[in-house]
Structure 1
Amino acid sequence: MKANKTYKWGMIGCGSVTELKSGPAYQKTEDFELVAVMRRDIAKAEDYAKRHQVPYFYDEADALINHPEIDAIYIATPPDSHEYYALKVAEAGKICCIEKPMAPSYEACSRINAAFEDRKLPLFVAYYRRSLPRFLQVKEWIDQNKIGTIRHIHWNFTKPPNDMDKSKSYNWRTDAEIAPGGYFDDLASHGLDLFVFMLGTVKSASGTSENKLGLYTAKDLVKGQWRHNSGVTGFGSWDFGADKREDVVKIYGNEGNITFSVFGEFPIVLERDEETTSLTIENPEHVQWYHVQNIKAHLSGGIWHSSTGETAMHTAWIMDRILQNKLEVINN
């Protein structure tokens, strides 16, 4: 890809995640332009386009994907439609970024990734935490051996049911047909992907999952364990029917430990040699800002983006193994 090229983006889906987290990042990135949006409800598509000064809006994906001015597509719909749209984007020969999780299953992720690899097209996935400064600082501590040899990582995440859950109102995030793991698919995917980024690929994974409260069809209690190729072991517990919210990750080394939150903007803490370093690193206004900046750098030949179809496919494999309640080993 040539540097200084202007990439014109189209966006499929313009729900809440695109209002502040992602959409403006594509608009404000140098040499990127958001020129079209699509939503099945044309009135909502038009409203988004007018509020965000986007020139074109559609209620059909094909019209946006095949727009002759558009170079790249950002898919921001629920995960059950990602494969359908992504294969159309690949067929049209265009660059793509897909919201996370990449698809509801490892097999679907594999088909998407293969379509783009076959056509040698760039494919990114919005695991934007890989690009956030607070997590890059954690990775830097790890890479600098600040806590010695890493032995284990533990993540405990809990949250109470929200009003939507309690009233049993429809929510695609808890519909087993769209997100089999429920909030696990939506939230745990961020952390598990981040752990691979920090500690390397995973060799084996297993878990247990169940629906304890019966508020929706998807799982609401998940426990998982995994082993990285480096030998680091991991354990996670995700309870979406708890009495309070908790989000604590701890990485244990033989010379210290690191503590942080995946979602809360709490300080990241390094403890070693009886000394504690606590850093508060705020996220940008548009949380996908650095992720989108790195897409631009990748396309310009400056760096290789850390979140691609291949890395997201590996994260999907880990999640599948945890949810399927069985142990499976992958040959990396």
Structure 2
Amino acid sequence: MNELNWGIIGCGNVTEVKSGPAFNKVPHSHLHAVMRRDAALAADYAKRHGVPQWYADAAQLINDPVVNAIYIATPPASHEEYALAAIAAGKPVYLEKPMALTAAAARRIATAAKANNVKLSVAHYRRGQPLYQYVRKCVRENRLGNIRAVTLRLHKPFPENAGWHVDPKVSGGGLFHDLAPHQLDILYSLFGRPRILSSSALNQQQVYPVPDLVAGHLLFNAQILADGLWTFGAPAEADTDTCEIVGTAGSISFNFFGHPACLLRIGDHEEKIVFESLAHVQQPMIAAVSAFFRGEGDNPCTGEEGAEVMEIIEELTQTD
């Protein structure tokens, strides 16, 4: 496959800036078609972004003979249906996170891709961004020494109108399912699959039928203790987004949803490193996925990895 001609299933808000334009900005990659169930919105997107073809039916996009790679950016409830259809058509899939409505569905997608020898990558796109590449380098090169602990805090006001994000039949959960996968995947990519020591998931506000507070203690590599707390009912002045990784030689602190920067402390030395904001935050990942689909690179996030992150999410949000 020399040139990728992408089709997007679900050309909604996430594709306007974060991902969609990037498909025309990486080597040997072109955005050929988009699909949305609302034909008028699909046509409008295609016109505004200069996309040659649009559809209101996913099957038509999947079966477009020009389309040879598919990006699925719909809400999670339809990920499995569309991913399995694209895999059955033999077309490689770039699948938005969270990977599916449930971990079991994510596993079915990963299994189908492997059984049909179809390439599948999951859009845990922070893996490709410079900030997290730098954090990975510090950990892998042992600049922090032996890693001992991770502290993660995310406190956000609960939005009055969260739409489908807080409908478990569409999203699988609440804002935790929307935001925490970014954080948990970075920890997973650094340290592997954790053992969940304890967790609590509460619906404190009783506004939507999903947890709005999640807490968990995770053990990585049988020696790295991670403590996470996610609240989605905090006042605006308490808005917090921090992650700190502490080792025997130093520490590094960074955020996930603000300006890309980190604070590195090694002994008496303290350094703040600021990274340039990306115009299209998924572009590094899309470049890596495109190289993988073309046979020129490794898979930056496999279906099996995406399914494991889904399993971590489900373990942390189990309620009795």
> Shorter-chain-normalised TM-score: which range?
over 0.9
2:260 and 2:185 map into 1 onto residues whose CA distance is 20
Which amino acid is the alignment partner of residue 88 of structure 2?
Answer: E
Query: 2:209 maps to what in 1?
Result: 217
Aligned residues of 2:153 and 2:243 also touching (Cα < 8 A):
yes
Report deviation, 1:218: 1.6
Q: Which amino acid in the other structure matches residue 242 of structure 1?
A: A
**TM-aligned CA deviation for residue 37 of structure 1:** 0.7
* 1:330 aligned residue: none
Q: TM-score, normalised by structure 1?
A: 0.92
- Which among 86, 89, 113 is matched to residue 83 of structure 2? 86
User: Matched residues in 1 for 2:210 and 2:319: separation?
Assistant: 15
- d(CA) in 1 for partners of 2:4, 2:213: 42
Tell me which of 102, 105, 130 is aligned to 2:102: 105
**Partner residue in 2 for 1:240:** 232
Q: How far is the alpha carbon of 1:226 from its aligned partner?
A: 1.3
In the TM superposition, what are the counterparts of 1:58-73 in structure 2 within 5 Å? Answer: 58-73=55-70
Classify the secondary structure of the residue corresponding to 2:78: helix
Instruction: Identify if the C-alpha distance between structure 1 residues 86 and 206 changes in structure 2 by more than 3 Å, giving closer, same or farther.
Output: farther
Q: Distance in 2 between matches of 1:266 and 1:103?
A: 27
Unpaired runs of at least 5, structure 2: none
Task: State the percentage of identical aligned residues.
Answer: 39
In 2, Cα distance between the equivalents of 1:86 and 1:279? 39
Deviation at 1:325, TM superposition (A): 4.5
Displacement of 1:150: 0.2
* Whole-Å separation in 1 of the counterparts to 2:20 and 2:81: 21
- State TM-score, norm by structure 2: 0.96
1:282 Cα offset (Å): 2.0
Q: Does residue 1:28 correspond to 2:25, yes or no?
A: yes
1:149 matches 2:146: yes
1:307 aligns with 2:304: no
Per-residue displacement from partner, 1:29-84 (whole Å, max 9, x unpaired)? 22111111110100000000111111111111100001111111100000111001
The within-5 A match list for 1:112-261 is 112-164=109-161, 171-204=163-196, 206-229=198-221, 231-244=223-236, 245-261=239-255
Q: 1:62 to 1:266 in 2, by over 3 A?
A: closer
Residue number in structure 2 paired with 1:168: none
Compared with structure 1, are the counterparts of its residues 299 and 205 closer, same or farther at alpha carbon in structure 2 (3 Å cutoff)? farther
Confirm or deny: 8 A CA contact 2:254 2:262 kept in the other structure.
yes
CA drift at 1:206: 4.0
**Unaligned 5+ residue runs, structure 1?**
166-170, 327-332
Q: Measure, in 2, the Cα distance between the counterparts of 1:206 and 1:190.
A: 20
Q: Is the contact made by 1:267 and 1:280 (CA closer than 8 Å) also made in structure 2?
A: yes
Count of aligned pairs: 318
What CA RMSD, in Å, does the superposition of the two structures yield over aligned residues? 1.4
Residues 127-148 of structure 1: CA distance to partner in whole angstroms, max 9, x if unpaired? 1000001110011011111111
